[in-house]
Chains A and B, each alone.
Chain A
Amino acid sequence: MRLTFDLQPGDDRLFTDESLEQIERIEQGLLELEQTFDAGVVNEVFRAAHTLKGSAATIGHRRMAELTHAMEDLFGAFRSGTLYEVKPFADVLLGTIDVLRALVAEVQEGEALTDAPERLTKQLRELLTTATAAAAARPSAPRPTARPTASGSPPAAPTSVQPPLADPNLAEPAESTTEELAGEADAVEQGVSNIAVAPLIQRLLGEAPGGCEPRSVFVCRIDPMSEWQSVRLLQLVIEAEETGDLVASAPCREEIESGLGTTLLVMLVRGRPVELLDLRKHLAAIDDVVGVEAVAAPLASGTSEVAPAARSIDVYGPDDAVPALGAARIDDENTAGPPGAAERRQADLGAEARGLPQGDRMIVAGDRLKAAQQTIRIDVTRLDELMNLVGELVVHKTRLQQSAQLLAAQLGDHPLARQADEDSQQFARIAGQLQDQVTGLRMLPIETVFNRFPRVVRDIAMRLNKEVQLVIEGKETELDRSVLEEVGDPLGHLVRNAMDHGIEPPEERRALGKSLPATVRLTARHADGRILITVEDNGRGMDPVAMRRAVIEKGLMTREAANATTDDEMLRVIFTPGFSTAKVVTEISGRGVGMDVVRNNIERLGGWVDVSSMPGQGTRVSLSLPLTLAIIGALLVKSGARVCALPLTGVVETLRVEPKSFGRVRGHNVLTLRDRVIPVEQLDSVLGDPPRPIQSNDRGFINLVVVRSRGTEMALAVDAFVGQHEIVLKSLSEVTGERAGLAGATVMADGTVGLVVDIAALLERSA
């Protein structure tokens, strides 16, 4: 079926980009809501669904508009407080997300890709009707309306979950504290506690003014039905003293010991919330405790602490026995705001206490909106074009400098020569800075790739009946778009592997006394001008003994060779094609392909893969990648009519040899180099030019470059070495089958074009 939409040519991209962004927002929101009901997130997904509906309707995408409308209605029920649990709807809603993506793709494809929307629309409508009816029939138990707390689930239930801390990407920590407290202020009206949190925190901060050291505020809630309130309070305070470094508490220990009973305890503890996970866990494990939250305490005003690079840790996963941890989003953000922020915070607290939370929250939303408008959307092709021009500018910078030197040589110490020299230096500096800036523009946080994994992990965990929480660290680490595009698939493979082969089923973990849920940890950080990404699980790990047995059985290694291999080397066998330790071939992974593909892809990007594992404790796979593919170090050589660039990642060494050092094997030249026999080929012939004999230069030598990829080596004969340079890699468009062997082209200092060799493909081709 052909579909036509009411779009100007070119607008389809805009529609697609914007819609996908909204869809992703809803997906992320749903995953959060599935863990913890949060009114702020509900509002966000509602608005996103509303926007989607609007744009779908505008272009006349009727099926999409109807589906998003049904979705919006359901979110509306959450917003109005009719429904307050997302979990039962999560599967259908996430399924809807997938269908929405297909519907968006229809706009580009121009044909129907899915027949699900009608069915789903109906299903969503029915769900809403049944759920609303059920809600109406329920006696009105105390439950949250549209505010951020989930204490409305039956108070005694130990799985009740506290609101997550506000998203660090959207609000400053100061504001997040405010919002949390606003929620608390509402809680007072709900009769959850007879003491508001905000005054308690103010009292604490007043009693113990902070220095520049990070501190955390813990808000603990005790079941109002508990008969042992003061005992529980005392337990909490003692725990905080023993596990952490308690600064002050409200009520204080004396008050508690004198028999004061309350359901709310606020404590000030040294350390960032993220460093206090254990304390949190211990506190939440105390009987009758229904909620523990930790937020970073505001720093004292006037503190001029330089904020360290913000590094966030997100946790996604099923509820733990410790509710606070499973649902937590812990943000290790420095709380030092701009000067005056602390005062403002205090003022806000005052406002909260006076019962003005709504207005303040509106202001917070306004700030977020302003932050969003600071960015604009640019087509990546324009960025590439800009990068091209900058590359050209840099080439001309060098030429200009040469001209200035020439002028100086001609004129000697002439004012004109000095002027030209100064000007060219100045120009060179600016061009260099411009290049840095433009290169920076292409950098994106790895978040864009990491963000897909909470959903992936959730889905796979459900399919495999495993309990897994995903921890993401360092999602703000930046890398070039070109690398980013390539790294998603290998990472997906590693995460699936970890879930399938690494993580044990819950029964097994329980029997082994291992933690539940299991953890898959994704981390990214910069190291030595490269990016280091790790995928780690605390599953069963890999056993070198079992692997040795497997490689012998599969005939990948002889018994002798296997026994001679160290355990560390043995682990690397997983990168061998056709190897899999999995006993079962599942839908998820384990077909014996995979790790070799991961390694190939990573190496093709100029990276490398490492694996370490402890039987019974888990496996860690580390990927090291260059920050950018656009600029690479290369050895330039002359070959035939042109200059070729060989990326340094594949170059082993350069040699000058005499023709007589070649041997002949079946009509091919070979070279024996430190006991290895390496084939010798003329570079331009391997690339596809008509074959020509290898010739020595006028001094009787042959120039060779030894290249290697995945253990295969080859010596390439070239006419001359030009030198080692940083080059800007440009595409020769799609690398078609015929173009295999070339990674692209680059502009040389003299303005001519050099061809960049894809060493891996070249060796594969001539293998």
Chain B
Amino acid sequence: MADKPMSSGNGRSGELQIVVCELADEHYGLDIAKVFEIIRHQPITPVPRAPAFVKGVINLRGRIIPVVDLRDRFGMIDVEPTKETRIVVAESSSTRVGLIVDSVSEVLLLPIDAVETTPGVAAGADAEYLRGIAKLGNRLVLLLELDGLFAPADQTALAGAA
């Protein structure tokens, strides 16, 4: 994936264009309309007293944006950044954030009907950030709802860091 802003927006209705990211061998999808840019991992300045999953802030062409480690957010084990590690810069309703993912694999066009609402089991307490699950052959892609990614309390904390 090139370090370039991506054109956003979903062209035809009935279809959903998503950016597919990998996190601990699981596939997560983000609506491309919400993705502003994908950049390589870069040094992050930690901010004191920030919420645990906020790794710190980075400089994105003069703009200071907070960076969230999705592994932390989903309770996965921390890993060192690799050559594949990317920061997906996305726009939630309230603020622009960087999301650290293990890698970004592809951009997919999904028919809306391929998306199933989250089954109760997978949803659990975190249902608010899952928009649904798409089945692609034998792969499962969990579609993330960016606005729900940070529970109300978390979102306040994030806005504080932004």
Contacts and interface: CB of A to CB of B under 8 A. Distances in A.
Contacts of A753: 45, 56-59, 64
Interface stretch (B107-115, B121-129, B133-141, B154-162): B154-162
Interface string B142-162: 000000000000000101111
Contacts of A739: 49, 160-161
Contact of A392 (B43, B61, B160, B161): B61
A730 B160 contact: no
Given A389-B61, A734-B159, A641 B48 contact: no
Interface stretch (A120-128, A604-612, A681-689): A681-689
Interface string B67-105: 000000000000000000000000000010000000000
Contacts of B43: 752
A544 to B, nearest CB: 45
A687 B45 CA distance: 14
Given A732-B57, A734-B160, A684 B62 contact: no
Contacts of B42: 752
Most-contacted residue by chain A among B48, B157, B159, B162 (CB, 10 A): B48
Most-contacted residue by chain B among A688, A734, A744, A753 (CB, 10 A): A753
A388 interface: yes
A744 B47 CA distance: 10
Interface in A360-396: 385, 388-392
The size bracket of the interface on B is 20 to 34
Interface string A698-736: 000000000000000000000000000000001111101
Contacts of B58: 753
Contacts of A642: 45-46
Nearest to B51: A738
A552 interface: no
A142 interface: no
Contacts of A738: 49, 157, 160
Contacts of B12: none
A745 interface: yes
A730 to B, nearest CB: 5
A751 B44 CA distance: 11
B52 to A, nearest CB: 13
Contacts of B62: 388-392, 730, 747
B63 interface: yes
A131 to B, nearest CB: 53
B160 A755 contact: no
Interface string A390-408: 1110000000000000000
A231 B160 CA distance: 77
A753 to B, nearest CB: 4
Contacts of B161: 732-733, 739
A751 B47 contact: no
Nearest to B46: A641
A741 interface: yes
Contact of A732 (B46, B59, B61, B162): B162
Contacts of B64: 730-732, 744-745, 747, 753
Contacts of B162: 732-733
B56 to A, nearest CB: 8
A745 B45 contact: yes
A754 interface: yes
Contacts of A385: 63
B36 to A, nearest CB: 14
A742 B64 CA distance: 14
Contacts of A643: 45
Contacts of B56: 753
A688 B46 contact: no
B160 A752 contact: no
A541 B160 CA distance: 45
A739 to B, nearest CB: 6
A741 B160 contact: no
Contacts of A751: 59
21 contacts: A385-B63, A389-B61, A641-B46, A643-B45, A687-B48, A687-B49, A689-B48, A730-B62, A732-B57, A733-B95, A733-B160, A738-B49, A741-B48, A742-B47, A745-B57, A747-B62, A747-B64, A752-B45, A752-B59, A753-B56, A753-B64
Given A388-B61, A732-B64, A753-B58, 5 more contacts: A641-B46, A731-B64, A745-B45, A753-B45, A755-B45
